[in-house]
Amino acid sequence: MGDTALPNSLASCLYSPYSWSFGITSWSLTVTKTELATISPLAFINNAKLQYLLLGGNPLLCSCGNLWLKHFLGEQADTQKVYCLEEGVGSRPLSQLAPPACVPPTTMTSPSVITELEGRDVTVICTTSGVPVPTLEWDTSSIETHRKVDIVMPQATLTLANLSSFDNGREVTCTAENTAGGSESSVLLNVLFAPSILQLATPVLDHHWCIPFSVAGNPQPELQWYHEGKMVLEQIYIQTQIHDQSESVYHGCLQLDNPTHINNGKYTLVAKNTFGQDQKTVFAHFMPDIVESDLEPADGMAVYVIVGIAALASIGFILLLILLKFGRNSKFGMKGSSSVISNDDDSASPLHHVSNGNNTPSEMGSDLVMIGMTKIPVIENPQYFRSSSHLLQWNSFVRHIKRHNIVLKQELGEGAFGKVFLAECYNLSPEHEKVLVAVKTLKEASEDGCADFCREAELLTNLQHEHIVTFYGVCVEGEPLVM
């Protein structure tokens, strides 16, 4: 509501401090020329929004009961030209009202904040002053803790027995009132208690996988997760998220991004603070440990193809290492048709490679290998010698693939580095949304293992040939390292 004009019939109710309860709620109320003499502050107790009260033209008494109007109106009392009538004196501005023996009450609590352990007892004292002597009371309706109030003016003593953790963050209020007005002071309860895991549920799938939990504790507990007894090291793909909290209860989940069967198992949440700890365990199942046995023939054939490709890649890598290591200083001297090998360095070898040094493309096959004293013609395979400059492209860049684009499907076996999986990989090429690939993992992330891993990735990246297995890239986000 906006402005509200109160009829004379309703205005007369303001004489009684408890009779006006019509539920009028507005920010501005007009009560003018109604023969109104006194107004109790309780008349507006249900209208917390009231900001402007227009009272001009009313014969208000210069009494202690109207002193609160002076404080409420402030400068508006002069702006509205609100007057009050004093016996034997006549009218005077309400802003000058100063009746004798009329002092609004004050309240003070000690302490103002209670910090105590759950189960302990505490005592709070509220002291008041004012003329006439105020009434004093404690409002404890918001708490569950057992309480007792003793009032011996000008003090009211509140005793709280066996503090409850449910009351942490709540307030109790001391209120004082007399005819000149009212006052109140609040006491905040800070109840300390050990953590308690209220809920730990099985995983649910929303945008990410989430293991929901609710934990209570004050101060806020520290949370640590364990998977099959091993501490979970949180990172971008597995982390604790707090979604909602009250004064001492925290609701959240352990969020996992694209978990696989490797992430299946028991998850234990441990919550601890200064006053103790609590733990609970839940079993999480994100993906079957193995693919169902009723695979279609096409799927079974794909598995064999992937295994064959992985084996071929390993053999090609070993051959490439041998070529790189022994190719330059080999006693066979096989450096292409344009090279000339001196017999000085290789005289002790029973096998020598000889070339006349002036071969043309039409003279392929003119290279010779000497076994003892016999020269045997050798025809070079252009796939391995004449095109070697195209096989190794050392300036190429190893492609990095996001871990969330890799979805493991089935374990295929274990190689030199670690386990090999059948997987689906997304966004590898614009022609296909996903590609079935073999994924090799690095079992031990030692310095030597990482170095070997990087060397193999660089070699396979530079090995570009239609007859060699296609190498797509690596994933180094988190562990294990993957190619």
Annotated binding site: 412-420, 440
Angle at the Cα of 147 from the Cα atoms of 145 and 148, rounded to 5 degrees = 175
| CB-side neighbour CA atoms (13 Å) of 112 | 4
Q: Measure the CA–CA gap between 440 and 451, rounded to whole angstroms.
A: 15
Instruction: Outline where 396-467 has alpha helix (H).
Output: 447-462
Q: Measure the CA–CA gap between 385 and 389, rounded to whole angstroms.
A: 8
Angle at the Cα of 300 from the Cα atoms of 294 and 303, rounded to 5 degrees = 130
DSSP letter at 405 equals G
Q: What residues form DSSP beta bridges with 370?
A: 352, 375
Helix (H) or strand (E) holding 227: strand 222-227
Binding residues for ATP: 412-420, 440
Return the C-alpha torsion angle 249, 255, 261, 266, nearest 10: -20
DSSP letter at 6 equals P
Q: Are 200 and 211 in contact (CB under 8 A)?
A: yes
Strands (E), 265-418: 265-273, 276-284, 351-354, 368-371, 374-377, 406-414
Helix (H) or strand (E) holding 122: strand 122-131
Q: Are 435 and 306 in contact (CB under 8 A)?
A: no
Q: Measure the CA–CA gap between 179 and 134, rounded to whole angstroms.
A: 8
Distance from first CA to last CA of the chain, Å, rounded? Answer: 69
CB within 8 A of 349, min separation 6: which ones?
Answer: 331
- One-letter amino acid at 388 equals S
DSSP letter at 421 equals E
Return the C-alpha torsion angle 260, 262, 266, 272, nearest 10: -90
